[in-house]
Structure 1
Amino acid sequence: MKEPVDTATGAFVAHRNLLFTIAYEMLGSAADAEDVLQETWLRWADVDLGEVQHPRAYLVRMVTRQALTRLRTLSRRRESYVGPWLPEPLLTAPDVAEDVELAESVSTAMLLVLETLAPVERAVFVLREVFDVGYEEIAAAVGKAPASVRQIAHRARAHVAARRPRGTVTATETRDVLAAFRRAVETGDLKGLLDLIAPDVVLLTDGGGAVRAALTPVIGAAEVAAVLSRLTTTTRLRPLQINGHPALALGTDAEPDTILTLHVTNGRITSLYAVRNPSKLSHTTHPTPLTR
């Protein structure tokens, strides 16, 4: 006999933030993560809860399967994406930044590394390394034997370790560099800007073909500074927390037109990520709850 609908709803709502975080880390897209949650809910509503011993594990398995199906479709779609593809930015509350491991796992730089994994590798890495899910549970979620999942996890871990950003930077250090960067841009201080960015800095701009943006990576301090210098002194740069890290929003409070995040190494900016695609900015005005 099925449980009442409100019981199913209560169990789903209790784990919703966790399920969204898993789906987002697997997909790099809040819009697609929301779609995956909707699909998961529709299937969960038909489950006989009397046969479910551990609702959390069951729901994690369901959302992983739905995210894997969506990820395979997205991988093909992104091959024809106009210009660089960047993850969809999320405005996050302070508690995300306080969980250092969670904040690192949803950073723009890490999500771009996860994009280089095959779908099953990404699912296994996210579930094991970020959410500490057991190998048996992961095996059930991805349809592989536990021994195979251990091998995939080892391979994915090595792959990510070889590509993840080097060095540990505190939120305070990033915030300080970001504040100096903001002052340099707003005052037109080209020398100050050049002092802040590394010689081999890389700027990626994601317009998705909908707005003006560089269609290829901009590489080198002089080239990146030239692009940034086009921002007029009347452009408002507002600090905020994006994906658990200090960032800047350009445009109005109600409707930012660009979200700018960065990566700092040894006190200098080595990577800049500018998301301008309007379809990716809907989750930057109200905080999105993320949790492990």
Structure 2
Amino acid sequence: MHVHEGLAVQFEAQRDHLRAVAYRMLGSLDEADDAVQLAWLRADRADRGEIENLSAWLTTVVARVCLDMLRNRRTRAEQPLTNATDALVEQRGGTEPEHEAVLAESVGLALLVVLQRLTPAERVAFVLHDMFAVPFDEIATVVGRSTVASKKLASRARSRVRGVAAIDEVDLARHHAVVEAFLIASRGGDLNTLVTLLAPDVVRRADRFAVPAATATDVHGARAVSEETRMFAHRARSAEVALVNGTPGIVVAPGGRLVVVLRVTIEHDRITEIEVIGDPRRLGTLDLGTGRN
């Protein structure tokens, strides 16, 4: 077999793995495919005689490509101010590739959202070490830092991904359970369960980026909020519980792209207020975490 053909066969055997690495770093399946293709071009030009472990070498090549793409993205600062409602309607209508949505859910929507807030080097170090067990000495060659500095990058990223709780562990677990139950009931349109999870005088507040123009910015009462929640069940299918400013809330992120955050206030194990935030400027100021170690 020709040397080039042999490399192509070996590369194809690694494609799914490389795509998984790139997707977690970039949060976009299209960009992940571009990164993998660039990695192939570099592999095809490399001196294969110096490569001992092709899989490990290709992983670092893809990581370097992703790091460059993340840095370029940050330099351009391309963050379109898309109305959250339009984005959700677009996603529900099927323009978001179904396989990317499934992939995002398998990785974790909250994790993808939080990863986007890391620096490029932090994101690469965290993904390589914590998600793919790449040794720090290899990570150091990718990010251009020492091994010790690479460990610090991953540690800092890990702390930011986890987030810092603003309440004690007992209340955190209880509040998380309430929000999780609310999200499950929202997905299933379970009106009775929704009503029981909400305080009788609950208030749902929203900015104009988060709801359609004809929808009230404030809704009062457990029944009214529950009925509205059923109307927006499609949002819950692209949502996940996360830490929002230190307490359990909900991120709505179709395909891993943050469009809406729900800040949830809980008293006596019932939800007393839901603030729905879709304004991109406000979303950028929120402290988000997965709440998981």
Which amino acid in structure 1 is aligned with residue 51 of structure 2? Answer: V
How well do the aligned residues superpose, as a CA RMSD in angstroms? 4.9
- Alignment partners' CA distance in 1, 2:15 and 2:67: 18
Superposed displacement of residue 202, structure 1: 10
Which protein has greater RCO, CA pairs closer than 8 Å, 6+ apart? Answer: 1
Superposed displacement of residue 157, structure 1: 2.2
**Correspondence list, 1:277-288, <5 A:** none
Distance 1:5 1:81, change over 3 A: farther
2:163 alignment partner, SS class: helix
**Correspondence list, 1:13-28, <5 A:** 13-28=12-27
- Matched with 2:135 is 134
1:90 alignment partner, SS class: helix
Superposed displacement of residue 272, structure 1: 4.6
Distance 1:67 1:168, change over 3 A: farther
* Residue 162 (str. 1) matches residue 141 (str. 2): no
Distance 1:174 1:59, change over 3 A: farther
Deviations 1:84-125 (A, max 9, x none): 699984325xxx99xxxxx5xx20111111122100011001
Are the aligned partners of 2:136 and 2:150 in contact in 1 as well (CA < 8 Å)? yes
- Matched with 2:288 is none
What is the TM-score with the length of structure 2 in the denominator? 0.60
- Matched with 1:90 is 101
- Alignment partners' CA distance in 1, 2:255 and 2:151: 39
Are the aligned partners of 1:36 and 1:67 in contact in 2 as well (CA < 8 Å)? yes
Bigger radius of gyration among the two: 2
* Residue 275 (str. 1) matches residue 254 (str. 2): yes
Are the aligned partners of 1:194 and 1:221 in contact in 2 as well (CA < 8 Å)? no
Deviations 1:181-209 (A, max 9, x none): 344x3x7x3x53344579799999x99xx
Distance 1:179 1:79, change over 3 A: closer
Are the aligned partners of 1:202 and 1:272 in contact in 2 as well (CA < 8 Å)? no
2:80 alignment partner, SS class: coil
Deviations 1:209-257 (A, max 9, x none): xxx799xx999997975753445xxxxx7xxxxxxxxxxxx5xxxxxx9
Distance 1:141 1:67, change over 3 A: same
**Correspondence list, 1:218-237, <5 A:** 225=226, 228-231=229-232
Which amino acid in structure 1 is aligned with residue 140 of structure 2? Answer: A
How many residue pairs get matched?
A: 229
- Matched with 1:247 is none
* Residue 5 (str. 1) matches residue 11 (str. 2): no
**Correspondence list, 1:29-40, <5 A:** 29-40=28-39
**Correspondence list, 1:1-292, <5 A:** 4-75=3-74, 76-83=76-83, 89-92=100-103, 103=106, 106-162=107-163, 180-183=185-188, 185=189, 189=191, 192-196=193-197, 225=226, 228-231=229-232, 260-263=238-241, 270-273=249-252, 275=254
- Alignment partners' CA distance in 1, 2:69 and 2:253: 25
- Alignment partners' CA distance in 2, 1:193 and 1:17: 40
Are the aligned partners of 1:200 and 1:221 in contact in 2 as well (CA < 8 Å)? yes
Superposed displacement of residue 259, structure 1: 5.1
- Alignment partners' CA distance in 2, 1:37 and 1:182: 35
Deviations 1:50-84 (A, max 9, x none): 22111111101110111111112333444334246
Instruction: State percent identity of aligned pairs.
Output: 29
Higher-helix-fraction structure: 2
- Alignment partners' CA distance in 2, 1:130 and 1:14: 20
1:271 alignment partner, SS class: strand
Point out where structure 1 has 5 or more consecutive residues left out of the alignment: 98-102, 232-236, 238-249, 251-256, 278-292
Are the aligned partners of 2:187 and 2:236 in contact in 1 as well (CA < 8 Å)? no
Residues 152-161 or 194-203, more deviating: 194-203
Superposed displacement of residue 163, structure 1: 5.0
Distance 1:80 1:16, change over 3 A: same
- Alignment partners' CA distance in 2, 1:18 and 1:146: 24
Are the aligned partners of 1:121 and 1:152 in contact in 2 as well (CA < 8 Å)? yes
